[in-house]
Homo-oligomer: A and B are copies of this chain.
């Protein structure tokens, strides 16, 4: 297992972590500058941030600073209520894929979608098995294009509390079942993003990480689970402030050969998003060394 205590060469910042500080959007190009100034070597930006900054400008900034992208957030949201929705989803995912290629991301992260309409509070139906079939179909279609471009797809199982609205793939086992169905040869084109926040509770986690192996382990995301957690979406904790044994999970992942970045992804309306962005980045560096 790699020693993270002496430096932060394996730290990546998911830029949602500092997306909106004290009520003001922090522009992606400024975030990139702030990361590079601290010797952070990798980021994982969100699409809306890239669109706001401009894709070409983002590509240039990333290249100029010699940054890597531990992933690109995100494709997915494959579930749909009608044929128009189905086509819109396909088109949008192709754009996400092309952007990931432009940015030379390590993978395109997939948040697969829940019950269609549920995110807006108006679920079109209650058939989560049907939603899962749409996801399998959507990943299969996108995978063909992704293979052609050489861009790995990383399915991110989301915590079961997001099953209705955001992702109906909710365990690592379930994500790996889909990987096995669509990429039996373990070609590297399809794998998973393991976010400790989503999977830490799972009694099958260590066994499923072994099952994943290095072929499927495309990304590692870290933050912490707070007790109490006051908001289902935006009350993630800084590493070390919660109950997740992050180092244990990293040890399992690395035992399989994972040697990529540890990507910090924290959504925190009332705490970290209320602070100066530089302070948040400095804290990420410190906690990466102490707690990851």
Listed in ascending order, the chain A residues whose CB lies under 8 Å from chain B are: 115, 118-119, 121, 123, 126-129, 132, 159-161, 163-165, 168, 170-171, 174, 200-203, 225, 227-229, 232, 242-245, 248
Contact = CB atoms under 8 A, between A and B. Distances in A.
Nearest to A120: B227
A180 to B, nearest CB: 14
B126 A245 contact: yes
Contact of A170 (B174, B201, B229): B201
A229 B227 contact: no
Closest 7 CB pairs of A and B: A163-B201, A126-B245, A160-B201, A161-B161, A118-B227, A164-B243, A123-B243
Most buried by B among A132, A171, A227: A227
Contacts of A229: 161, 232
B245 A127 contact: yes
A279 to B, nearest CB: 24
Nearest to A123: B243
A4 B160 CA distance: 29
Given A123-B243, A170-B201, 13 more contacts: A121-B228, A123-B227, A126-B243, A126-B244, A126-B248, A128-B201, A129-B203, A159-B161, A161-B229, A163-B201, A164-B225, A168-B201, A174-B203
A115 B160 contact: no
A217 B118 CA distance: 30
Contacts of A163: 200-201
A132 to B, nearest CB: 7
Contact of A132 (B170, B203, B242, B243): B203
Contacts of A119: 227
Given A164-B243, A243-B164, A121 B227 contact: yes
Contacts of A232: 161, 228-229, 232
A10 to B, nearest CB: 21
A132 B201 CA distance: 11
Contacts of A171: 203
14 contacts: A121-B227, A123-B227, A126-B244, A126-B245, A127-B245, A159-B160, A160-B160, A161-B161, A161-B229, A161-B232, A164-B201, A170-B202, A170-B203, A232-B232
B243 A160 contact: no
Nearest to A119: B227
A78 to B, nearest CB: 16
A245 B170 CA distance: 18
Nearest to A203: B174
Contacts of A123: 227, 243
A247 B242 CA distance: 37
